[in-house]
Amino acid sequence: MNILIQNGTIVRSDKTFVADIFISDGKISQIGNSLNIQERIDKTIDAKGFYIFPGGIDPHVHMFLPTPAGYSSDNFESGSNAALFGGTTTLLDFVTPKKGQSLFDALKQRMAEAENSLCDYSFHVSPIEWTQKTEKEINECIKAGITSFKVYMAYKGAVGLEDDDLKKVLKAVGKAGGLVTIHCELGDEIDILRDKFVSEGKTEPIYHALSRPVELEAKAVQRVLGFAKEANCAIYIVHVSSKQSLDIIAKAQQSGQKVFAETCPHYLLLDDSEYKGTFMDTVKFVLSPPLRKKEDQDALWKNIQTGFISTVGTDHCPFNLSQKSVGINDFRKIPNGAGGVEHRMTLLYTYGILENKINWNQFVDITSTQAAKIFGLYPKKGEISVGSDADLVIWNLEKENTISVRNHKQNCDLEIYEGFKIRGAPEFVIKGGNLNPDIKQGKFLKRKI
Ligand code: URP
Ligand code: ZN
Ligand code: ZN
């Protein structure tokens, strides 16, 4: 479909300007003020008064994640539909092998699960153990276009890695020139606190939060920075939630270490007061790391402004109330996670841009451009320039709504942003040159180092 978009305000991470965009064959083929179009035009959009920016890239989602409480409630089709509705066109999910399964086998299985994604997609592959074959498998993944890996310092006994194995992963990925993304929380110490609380009869969701204090996140960050330096491996710390962790990361960045930080909308907009109340009120906020204090929120916004935080991902991982309720008598059984892929752009517009916490260019940077650069997708993704994929959001500044479980597209009967007033929404979403709702299947994105 060839589309001409006229008179829109184009926002990139480096500049803002008014121009026309011509899309043909799924790519941006011209940008300018008096375009010379020789080809057929199938559709013309008058975008006067609208803002146009690159489709969002969510670098951290968990669709159809297997847990003892069942799969996370959005599969690739429903989750990507919600993502598109909110202006996100590319998803980076995860491959989590079972014990004994090769990384490459797990990748093939995950590719089949993701086939019905409407967004384009790639994965971070998670070594959950170190075997004699792991280094070879990491290199096979890189050859197949998977250049980032994921390790968990928490969730010991399930997917968490012991420190010695973590060091081996960092060394192997560092040698190959890839990137390791890391969930930083000290799992052993958390497990001791969890068991202690339950043995004292403290079983409610608030004890999930109390068993995962900021110090255990910050210590994990400090530890892994040391390991990564030793291994000469670039790292990306996912869902950074606290000021303490950020201070350590900022210092490492200033010293020249290659470390990126991601935070999530829930750490910017929600705080630990959400854990006060009944099981039904509080269980939806059981996610890791837990929600922190207001001071942490301020530090996160500041670190976005200064650039120490590169990306805002959602960690989209919704579970229905029936799934969360398996932990009614024991918070340790509650599956961790909450949805958010649909709301990231509008939340960052409403509570970031409109509240003068970030400007438009920073908005584009943290929702799209940086993720593309860090994860080997740039400039195909994350940019409005000639030759880039035509993944664009045409944003209506005036739309207003209230987030609710009653109207969200995410497949979940819980909503952590229930009642949040939002401004701004996509008027049109274009992916690969196709307009929503005619967007067809997404593509697997082979990435490069
Ligand atoms: O609570 C969370 N974040 N669940 C998803 C898995 C993870 O740790 O990212
Ligand atoms: Zn995590
Ligand atoms: Zn996650």
pLDDT tens by residue, 263-303: 999 999 999 999 999 999 999 999 999 999 999 999 999 99
Residue nearest to atom 7 of ligand 1 (CA): 288
Tokens representing 68 are 């003892």
**CA–CA distance, 121 with 133 (Å, rounded to integer):** 26
Locate tokens 């669709």: which residue? 63
- The distance from CA 325 to its chain's CA centroid, rounded to whole angstroms, is 25
> Under a CB-based contact definition with an 8 Å cutoff, are residues 345 and 393 in contact?
yes
Locate tokens 């969200």: which residue? 408
Tokens representing 171 are 């060394």
Tokens representing 197 are 């609380």
Question: In 25-47, which positions are buried (b, 16+ CB within 10 angstroms) versus exposed (e)?
Answer: ebbbbbbeeeeeeeeeeeeebeb
Residue 318 Cα to ligand 1 middle (Å): 10
Locate tokens 């074959």: which residue? 133
Task: State the DSSP H helix or E strand holding residue 89, giving kind and residue range, or none if neither.
Answer: strand 88-95
Beta bridge partners of 255: none
Domains (range + CATH), the chain: 55-374 (3.20.20.140)
pLDDT value of residue 138:
98
Which among 99, 98, 94 is positioned nearest to 110, based on CA atoms?
Answer: 94
In this structure, the chain runs to a length of 449
Block mean pLDDT (10 aa), the chain, length 449: 97 98 98 95 98 99 98 98 98 97 96 98 98 97 97 97 98 98 98 98 98 98 98 98 98 98 99 98 98 98 98 98 98 98 98 98 99 98 98 98 98 98 98 93 95
Q: Which of 239, 319, 332 to mutate to test the pocket of ligand 1 (most atoms within 8 A of CB)?
A: 239
The sign of the CA dihedral 2, 25, 393, 115 is positive
Locate tokens 């990507």: which residue? 80
List residues near ligand 1 (CB under 6 A): 62, 183, 287-288, 315, 317, 336-337
pLDDT value of residue 206:
98
> Under a CB-based contact definition with an 8 Å cutoff, are residues 348 and 355 in contact?
no
Residue 180 Cα to ligand 3 middle (Å): 14
> Under a CB-based contact definition with an 8 Å cutoff, are residues 431 and 27 in contact?
no
**357-375 tens-digit pLDDT:** 999 999 999 999 999 999 9
The sign of the CA dihedral 354, 356, 359, 363 is negative
Which among 261, 229, 232, 227 is positioned nearest to 247, based on CA atoms?
Answer: 261
pLDDT value of residue 437:
86
**CA–CA distance, 42 with 331 (Å, rounded to integer):** 55
Tokens representing 338 are 């909450």
Locate tokens 């011209």: which residue? 30
Q: Are strands 311-312 and 120-125 parallel, antiparallel or unpaired?
A: unpaired
Which among 78, 121, 86 is positioned nearest to 410, based on CA atoms?
Answer: 78
**CA–CA distance, 93 with 78 (Å, rounded to integer):** 14
> Under a CB-based contact definition with an 8 Å cutoff, are residues 201 and 146 in contact?
no
* Burial class, 202, CB count within 10 angstroms (exposed 0-12 / middle 13-18 / buried 19+): middle
Residue nearest to atom 4 of ligand 1 (CA): 337
Question: In 399-415, which positions are buried (b, 16+ CB within 10 angstroms) versus exposed (e)?
Answer: eebebebeebbbbbebb
Query: Which one-letter amino acid corresponds to residue 229?
Result: K
Tokens representing 102 are 């090769």
Question: What's the distance, Cα to Cα, between the start and end of the chain in Å?
Answer: 31
**CA–CA distance, 364 with 88 (Å, rounded to integer):** 12
pLDDT value of residue 215:
98
* Ligand 1 nearest atom to the CA of residue 155, by list position: 8
- Spell out the alpha helix ranges (H) of 211-343: 214-231, 243-254, 265-269, 279-282, 294-306, 321-324
* Ligand 1 nearest atom to the CA of residue 238, by list position: 9
| 184 alpha carbon, closest ligand | 2
Tokens representing 119 are 């967004």
Global pTM reads 0.98
Q: Ion ligand 2 — residues with CB under 5 Å?
A: 183
CA distances from 429 to 81, 122, 148, 242 (A): 11, 20, 27, 33
> Under a CB-based contact definition with an 8 Å cutoff, are residues 361 and 433 in contact?
no
Q: Which of 317, 331, 416 to mutate to test the pocket of ligand 1 (most atoms within 8 A of CB)?
A: 317
Which among 357, 254, 349 is positioned nearest to 298, based on CA atoms?
Answer: 357
Residues 6 or more apart whose Cβ sits within 8 Å of residue 231: 167, 170, 171, 174
Residues 6 or more apart whose Cβ sits within 8 Å of residue 398: 423, 424
Question: In 365-393, which positions are buried (b, 16+ CB within 10 angstroms) versus exposed (e)?
Answer: bbbbbbbbbbbbbbbbbbbbeeebbbbbb
**CA–CA distance, 377 with 393 (Å, rounded to integer):** 18
pLDDT value of residue 108:
95
| 124 alpha carbon, closest ligand | 3
> Under a CB-based contact definition with an 8 Å cutoff, are residues 220 and 185 in contact?
yes
